[in-house]
Each structure stands twice: as C-alpha cells, then as structure tokens.
C-alpha cells in the first residue's frame, strides 16, 4: 500500500522487544507489511506510519509483546463515542462497515 499513506505519527502500536520470541506471526498477519523479523530473531517495526491499528498483530502475538489500541476508523462511530461514551457507542447500530 505504498501509494496510500495516512497521517504519520499517530499509531498506538508498540512492540516490547524483550518479550518478543521472533515467531513472525505479526509479519504474517499484518496487511500493511509493518513488521520484519530480524536475523537475530526479534520482530521489528519497520513502517510504523503504515499501521492502521487493526489489531491483527497483537491478537496473534503468542507472548503479548505487541500492544495497539485497535478500533474502528469510522467517523460516525467516533462521533458516537464522543456523544455517548465508549460503552454505548455501537458500530452495529449505525451501519458503518
């Protein structure tokens, strides 16, 4: 997705390299090629600004070395969160994606 880039320096993605076991799951599931596993056996965030915070990597990290605040990048959902609060905002009720 090199042709499409979104706002830089906003992603909440974080990798705890000391916990990482270098299994490569994050690299496999990331739809934007954000990760690479280095020869010394640790994953590395290569392109943090390519991250869309989908949460696939964190969900599939067997040692919980990855954290990201996943969410729905949907304007009407975010407006609902602002108005009603995180608990009551429901993506299902407003038909976004």
Partner 1 sequence: MNILDQKEKGCCGTEKSCGPEAPLQGLQILPVPKVDDEPCCGPPAGPESSPLERPGYMLWHFVEGLINTPAGPVPKVKTVLERPDHLGTARARFGYKRNQYTIAPGLYGVGTPGPESPILVTANYKLSFDSLRKELTGLDSWILVIDTRGINVWCAAGKGTFATSEIARRVRNTNLEKIVNHRELILPQLGAPGVSAHLLKKNCGFKGIWGPIRASDIKAFLNSGKKAPPSMRTATFSMLERLVLVPVEISLIIRPTLWIFLAFFILSGISPDIFSITAAWQRSLMVVAAYIAGVFAGAVAAPALLPWIPSRIFALKGIIIGLLAGAGITAMYWDAIGVLESLTLLLCATAVSSYAAMNFTGATPFTSPSGVEKEMRRFIPVQAVAVVVAAITWIIAPFTT
Cβ proximity to partner 1, 16 vs 96, nearer residue: 96
7 lies in the site for partner 1, by CB under 8 A: yes
Q: Considering only the stretches 14-22, 25-33, 38-46, report the one whose residues sit in contact with partner 1 under the rule CB under 8 A.
A: 25-33
- Check if the beta carbon of residue 50 is closer than 8 Å to that of residue 33: yes
Dihedral Cα 91, 73, 60, 68, nearest 10 deg: -120
CB of 68 to partner 1, least distance (A): 9
Residues paired with residue 43 on neighbouring β-strands, in sequence order: 37
Q: H helices of the chain, where?
A: 25-29, 56-59, 75-84
- Give the interface with partner 1 as residue ranges (CB under 8 A): 1, 3-7, 10-12, 25, 28-33, 50-57, 59-60, 62, 69-79, 91-92, 95-97
């Amino acid at each position: 997705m090199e042709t499409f880039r979104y706002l830089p320096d906003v992603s909440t993605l974080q990798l705890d390299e000391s916990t990482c076991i270098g299994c490569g799951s994050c690299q496999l599931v990331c739809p934007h090629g954000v990760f690479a596993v280095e020869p010394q056996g640790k994953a590395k965030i290569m392109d943090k600004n390519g991250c869309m915070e989908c949460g696939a990597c964190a969900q599939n990290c067997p040692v919980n070395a990855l954290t990201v605040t996943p969410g729905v990048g949907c304007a009407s959902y975010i407006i609902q969160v602002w108005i009603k609060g995180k608990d009551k905002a429901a993506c299902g009720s407003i038909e976004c994606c």
